[in-house]
Amino acid sequence: MKRPFLLVVLFCLLPASSSLLAAPAAAKPNILLIVADDLGYNDVGFQGGRDIPTPHLDKLAASGVRCTSGYVSYPVCSPSRAGFITGRYQQRFGHEFNPRWNLESKIDGLPLSQSTMGDALRGAGYTTGVIGKWHLGAHPQFHPNRRGFDEFYGFLGGGHRYLPGSHVDVEVGAGKKMETHADAEHASPMLRNTVEEPEPPELTTKLGEEAAASVTRHARDAKPWFLYLAFNAPHTPLQARTDMLAKFAHIADERRRTYAAMVATVDEAVGRVLGALDATGQRERTLVFFFSDNGGPMTKRNANASHNGILRGQKGDIFEGGIRVPFVVSWPGRLPAGRSYAEPVIALDVLPTALAAVGVKRDPKLPPLDGVNLLPFLTGETKTPPHARLFWRMDDGAAFAVREGKWKWFRTYENAPQLYDLVADPSEKNDLVAKHPEVAARLAASVAEWNRGLVAPVWFNNPFGGFINLPGPGKTAVP
Ligand code: CA
């Protein structure tokens, strides 16, 4: 009879801090990579958005460094993910299009020659997991469990319906409203590792619950962990929980209202995960990254009523609106809090930054990374920019871009080369090619040099038109 009482007394004598209840301080930090999908540059509070409250994401940004020139390496989903999951420009290994949805294809997926962030951290003694959207190949050979991840909960395709049984996507594309039946990809099974599970009541909510459960489950492990939490929201289809929609009843436009509810659901899910980190005493030994896989699609296919603020263009463009994204790095006690960092950084930096935080060297037998360790730059220890130049190539060379300091040069198959001063002109309005031809020539030459290190796409996928269906693009468009 007395033992339970004793236990209660002992429990009450423990300090209020939960850290003593959690695992002993690990020498190596956990890594939490949170990716949103098709999130507009202006659609979270810490980016200046006003109509969609995102208190949890704002708190995350306030706890770390907000990179105001944070880029992804491609303006659509899968190539962008292939870039940051390998730390390499994905055109170096031919991953230049979204994979076609085909469970039988051994072609359409992250080439098996490539090593992932999961491989690297699992090799460093980490428990590794993916929760959410994979989109790096649907054939079993591309399954996350075979690409460096011990644990997987999610779906293999590039998108998914949020509400079970819903069958209609409403999209606005090419200026007209289209209704299409949700295809097999958006209704593909939810998988726990390789085992099918019933669809949850609402997908984004479930992904947050799963991530919080993972963080809690591994809190007391001897091993540190790496979790890649890949939301598919706020990518289309536009669907949200009824209670969340009610919070945005004041937004007259139905599409924007639904989009707002979806972004708020992502924010709520992030809050759930960060709350689990706090509750288990892991927050200060967890390095957190957050960004969107590409810019918001406003008028093209998959348009979701997102806003990219002052940036020109959208998902699918190499204008800033396609490739510059909300981007946060947070590691309390190790990185400054509430800081903005303006030098260009790119999602390819996530892997080398994580390896540096973990204290692991890249296997010298593997090809070199294109990203850099951002930690000394974000602490202010290193004053020079992390990158001399960042590069983009789209659709097998139908469009190219380079950023060097304040300069952005680009050309597309359709357009003559253009040059912008992004510090003075972040909206890319004033073409300076005629005023600074020497800068334009230098940057064009740098792109051509970079392009020589790339290969042709392993597969093509552009069912909605675009550059590659035009005569004569492809590698003939090299500047
Ligand atoms: Ca995307």
Position 390 in a domain: no
pLDDT of residue 168: 53
Position 456 in a domain: no
Q: Are 266 and 214 in contact (CB under 8 A)?
A: no
Domain that holds residue 189: 27-379
Position 401 in a domain: no
- Asked if omega into 201 is within 30° of 0 (cis), the reply is no
Which is it for strands 151-155 and 190-192: parallel, antiparallel or unpaired?
A: antiparallel
Distance 75 CA to ligand 1 centre (A): 8
> 180 Cβ partners below 8 Å, 6+ apart?
168, 169, 171
Position 149 in a domain: yes
Position 200 in a domain: yes
Distance 9 CA to ligand 1 centre (A): 52
Distance 159 CA to ligand 1 centre (A): 9
Distance 235 CA to ligand 1 centre (A): 7
Distance 194 CA to ligand 1 centre (A): 24
Distance 461 CA to ligand 1 centre (A): 15
Query: Terminal CA-to-CA distance of the chain, rounded, Å?
Result: 83
pLDDT of residue 414: 78
Position 440 in a domain: no
Distance 296 CA to ligand 1 centre (A): 8
Position 437 in a domain: no
pLDDT in tens, 31-72: 999 999 999 999 999 999 999 999 999 999 999 999 999 999
Distance 214 CA to ligand 1 centre (A): 24
pLDDT of residue 115: 97
Rounded average pLDDT per 10-residue block, the chain, 479 residues: 43 40 63 98 97 98 98 97 98 95 94 98 98 98 98 96 74 44 79 97 98 98 98 95 98 96 98 98 98 93 92 95 98 97 98 97 95 98 98 91 97 90 98 98 96 92 51 43
Give the whole-angstrom CA distance, residue 281 versus residue 383: 33
Distance 316 CA to ligand 1 centre (A): 9
pLDDT of residue 463: 52
Distance 16 CA to ligand 1 centre (A): 42
pTM recorded for the entire structure: 0.91
Distance 222 CA to ligand 1 centre (A): 35
| Residue 181: CATH number of its domain | 3.40.720.10
Q: How many residues does the chain have?
A: 479
Distance 148 CA to ligand 1 centre (A): 22
Position 402 in a domain: no
Helix, strand, coil percent content, the chain, rounded in steps of 5: 30, 20, 50
Distance 3 CA to ligand 1 centre (A): 56
pLDDT of residue 398: 85
Tally the domains of the chain.
1
pLDDT of residue 167: 59
pLDDT in tens, 428-477: 999 999 999 999 999 999 999 999 999 999 998 865 444 444 433 444 44
Give the whole-angstrom CA distance, residue 60 versus residue 55: 9
